[in-house]
Amino acid sequence: MVQEKLSNYGCAVIRNFFSDEGLKILLREAEERLEHDYYSPKKLCNVYLGNGNPELPDYNPQNIFLELTNVFRTADFFEPERYSYRLYY
Protein backbone atom coordinates (compact mmCIF):
# COMPACT_ATOMS: atom_id res chain seq x y z
CA MET A 1 0.00 0.00 0.00
CA VAL A 2 2.85 2.41 0.79
CA GLN A 3 4.47 1.79 -2.61
CA GLU A 4 1.13 2.35 -4.34
CA LYS A 5 0.58 5.68 -2.57
CA LEU A 6 4.13 6.75 -3.36
CA SER A 7 3.57 5.92 -7.02
CA ASN A 8 0.17 7.62 -7.21
CA TYR A 9 0.68 10.63 -4.96
CA GLY A 10 4.40 10.95 -4.35
CA CYS A 11 3.92 10.58 -0.60
CA ALA A 12 2.53 8.14 1.93
CA VAL A 13 1.61 8.14 5.61
CA ILE A 14 3.00 5.27 7.63
CA ARG A 15 0.84 5.07 10.74
CA ASN A 16 2.32 3.68 13.97
CA PHE A 17 5.83 3.69 12.51
CA PHE A 18 7.12 4.27 16.06
CA SER A 19 5.93 2.52 19.18
CA ASP A 20 4.58 4.79 21.93
CA GLU A 21 7.75 4.22 23.95
CA GLY A 22 10.01 4.86 20.94
CA LEU A 23 8.21 8.11 20.19
CA LYS A 24 8.58 9.24 23.81
CA ILE A 25 12.32 8.56 23.65
CA LEU A 26 12.74 10.48 20.37
CA LEU A 27 10.72 13.43 21.71
CA ARG A 28 12.78 13.52 24.89
CA GLU A 29 16.02 13.49 22.89
CA ALA A 30 14.71 16.30 20.67
CA GLU A 31 13.67 18.43 23.64
CA GLU A 32 17.13 18.06 25.21
CA ARG A 33 18.73 19.79 22.19
CA LEU A 34 16.20 22.57 21.43
CA GLU A 35 18.70 25.38 22.02
CA HIS A 36 20.77 24.11 19.07
CA ASP A 37 17.91 24.08 16.55
CA TYR A 38 17.14 26.58 13.79
CA TYR A 39 13.51 27.52 13.20
CA SER A 40 12.59 28.77 9.73
CA PRO A 41 9.97 31.51 9.25
CA LYS A 42 6.35 30.42 8.66
CA LYS A 43 5.23 30.09 5.06
CA LEU A 44 2.50 28.49 2.96
CA CYS A 45 3.75 25.41 1.14
CA ASN A 46 2.87 21.91 0.03
CA VAL A 47 4.66 18.74 1.12
CA TYR A 48 7.09 19.14 -1.79
CA LEU A 49 7.88 22.78 -0.95
CA GLY A 50 6.72 23.58 -4.49
CA ASN A 51 4.24 25.91 -6.17
CA GLY A 52 1.56 23.34 -6.93
CA ASN A 53 0.45 21.80 -10.23
CA PRO A 54 -2.60 23.25 -12.02
CA GLU A 55 -2.88 20.08 -14.13
CA LEU A 56 -3.75 18.02 -11.03
CA PRO A 57 -6.92 18.15 -8.89
CA ASP A 58 -7.10 20.36 -5.80
CA TYR A 59 -6.97 17.33 -3.49
CA ASN A 60 -3.60 16.17 -4.87
CA PRO A 61 -0.80 16.73 -2.30
CA GLN A 62 0.96 19.06 -4.75
CA ASN A 63 -2.02 21.43 -4.49
CA ILE A 64 -2.67 21.30 -0.75
CA PHE A 65 -0.99 24.22 1.00
CA LEU A 66 -0.54 24.55 4.74
CA GLU A 67 1.22 27.06 6.94
CA LEU A 68 4.52 25.50 7.87
CA THR A 69 7.68 26.21 9.74
CA ASN A 70 10.62 23.83 9.80
CA VAL A 71 13.07 23.02 12.52
CA PHE A 72 16.59 22.05 11.52
CA ARG A 73 19.26 20.32 13.54
CA THR A 74 22.75 19.72 12.21
CA ALA A 75 24.09 16.18 12.20
CA ASP A 76 26.83 16.96 14.72
CA PHE A 77 24.13 17.03 17.43
CA PHE A 78 23.14 13.41 16.74
CA GLU A 79 25.20 11.34 19.15
CA PRO A 80 25.82 7.71 18.03
CA GLU A 81 24.30 6.18 21.18
CA ARG A 82 20.97 7.97 20.69
CA TYR A 83 17.89 6.69 18.88
CA SER A 84 17.65 9.91 16.87
CA TYR A 85 21.10 9.16 15.44
CA ARG A 86 19.96 5.74 14.25
CA LEU A 87 16.84 7.22 12.72
CA TYR A 88 18.77 9.99 10.96
CA TYR A 89 21.42 7.72 9.50
pLDDT at 36: 87
**Structural domain includes residue 48:** yes
pLDDT at residue 10 in the model: 79
Residue 57 lies in a domain: yes
**What total of structural domains would you count in the chain?**
1
Asked whether residue 85 is assigned to any structural domain, the reply reads yes
- Using alpha carbons, list the distances in angstroms from residue 10 to 44, 60, 78: 19, 10, 28
pLDDT digits (tens, 9 = 90+) for 15-54: 999 999 999 999 999 898 888 899 889 999 998 889 999 9
Q: Compute the distance between CA of residue 32 and CA of residue 79 in angstroms, rounded to an integer.
A: 12
Domain span holding position 80? 36-89
* Residue 44 counted as domain residue: yes
54: Cβ contacts below 8 Å, ≥ 6 apart: none
